[in-house]
Amino acid sequence: MDKKPRSLRTLITVVVTLVTLGVLIWGMFFTADYLVLNPKGPVGQSEKELIIITTLLCCVVIVPVLILTAVIVWRYRDKPNRKAAYSPNWHDSKVLETVWWGVPIIIIIALAVVTARYTYALEPSKPIDAEQKPVTVQVVSLDWKWLFLYPDENIATVNTLTIPEGVPVRFEITADAPMNSFWIPQLGGQIYAMSGMSMTLYLKADEVGTYFGTGANFSGEHFAQMRFDVNAVSQADYDSWVQKVKGNTGSTITEASYADLAKPGVMGETEYSSFPEGLYSKIAYKYVVDGENADSEDSTDGTKQEGMGSSLPGFSSGQVTSGLSASQPVQ
């Protein structure tokens, strides 16, 4: 029934293939930026390097396997008068087996060494080497918005983050809502935002620009709205921005207005000229039962923490402890 001439069919095949490939290439490379592969800060840069190194190491095994698969499947397909050998009972070779236990082991050892080194180097709570003193931003994940507190400046914003370029930023991250994750792909990897915890993440922007920030861990109905722009600006612009926000005294966060802010809902970008002192630690430690963990060694700086840090010391060796018992008191 299909009586199209052969050349027409070939033409259709070629056109369809080319259009498909064209759409694919256009979609892959010309519609959006590969944020993770286009970092604008030292943390993201190192993570990109690591991604490339590990991909290449994996390819050492993967590419030969894929080629081998194609060759074997083609060469040993069953057809009359096939020339390739057929040895139905050959099922054991110590040499070959040693090779393919050995090669993956070597690759994995190499990967393990690289991974371990980078894991220590890129521990999120480790400060970034820089001449400037880091700026601190306290991040609170709410239902369904991000609250950013600038304790040094006593200003706050919602769903928009402004940071000075070239200066390390020390993010202290918590949540007053279900767990979320704080992610600015072009500056570096994410870390969870959890109630009753304060996590520390150091990032730095090396270029002026606006970067995409997002919540990365599902936190309920309007989770998709938890996006924010990160404006990395020059130090001078940053200072004048701070002054501008401070000057606009009509909008402040008070204890009462915070309670409203924390209620589930969606909102746009907002700036606040002040917020109550100690708001962050009040949020981060609001669930601590009085007296509990009072003699815990994690509470030496006067703040108390809940749960895992003291009851399960095995799990708390990194972030959690460094976030809570480090000498810098949370504001």
The residues in 21-60 that bind another protein, with binding defined as CB under 8 A, are 23-24, 26-28, 31-37, 44, 46-47, 50-51, 54-55, 58-59
Per-residue x/- track, 65-84, another protein (CB under 8 A): xx-xx--xx--xxx---x-x
What is the pattern of x (binds another protein, CB under 8 A) and - over residues 175-214?
Answer: --xxx-x-x-x--xxxxx-xxxx-x------------x-x
Contact status: 14 vs another protein (CB under 8 A): no
Alpha-carbon distances, residue 248 vs 157, 183, 269, 270, 271 (angstroms): 12, 29, 15, 12, 9
Q: Which of 8, 96, 236, 259 binds another protein (CB under 8 A)?
A: 96
Nearest-CA neighbor of 151 among 165, 142, 166, 140?
140
- According to DSSP, the residues that pair with 181 across neighbouring strands are 192
Work out whether 221 is an interface residue with another protein (CB under 8 A). yes
User: Which DSSP symbol is given to 331?
Assistant: -
**Does 128 sit near another protein (CB under 8 A)?**
no
Given candidates 41, 125, 170, 272, which one binds another protein under the rule CB under 8 A?
A: 125
As measured in angstroms, the least distance from the Cβ of 329 to another protein is: 19
- How far is residue 254's CA from residue 276's CA, in Å, rounded to a whole number? 6
* Interface residue with another protein, options 118, 166, 252, 262 (CB under 8 A): 118
The Cα–Cα gap between 60 and 65 comes to 9
Q: How far apart are CA 201 and CA 103, in angstroms?
A: 37
Residue 79 Cβ vs another protein, minimum distance, rounded to whole Å:
9
Hey, which residues between 258 and 297 contact another protein (CB under 8 A)? 287, 289, 292
Task: Give CA–CA dist 265/267, Å, rounded.
Answer: 7
Q: How far apart are CA 200 and CA 327, in angstroms?
A: 13
61 binds another protein (CB under 8 A): yes
Q: Does 215 bind another protein (CB under 8 A)?
A: yes
Sort 314 into a burial class: Cβ within 10 Å, 0-12 / 13-18 / 19+.
Answer: exposed
The radius of gyration of the chain's CA atoms, rounded to the nearest angstrom, is 27
Q: Which of 218, 234, 269, 297 binds another protein (CB under 8 A)?
A: 218
Q: How many residues does the chain have?
A: 331
Answer yes or no whether residue 18 interacts with another protein by CB under 8 A. Answer: no
- Cα separation, 10 vs 147, in Å, equals 59
The yes or no reply on residue 233 touching another protein (CB under 8 A) is: no
Chain positions 137 to 176 lying near another protein, rule: CB under 8 A, are none
The least CB distance from residue 86 to another protein, in Å, is 6
Cis peptide before 146 (omega within 30 of 0): no
Q: Which is nearer to another protein, 32 or 236 (CB)?
A: 32
CB of 320 to another protein, least distance (A): 6
How far is residue 33 CA from its own chain's centroid? 16
In the complex, minimum distance from the CB of residue 253 to another protein, in angstroms, rounded to a whole number: 22
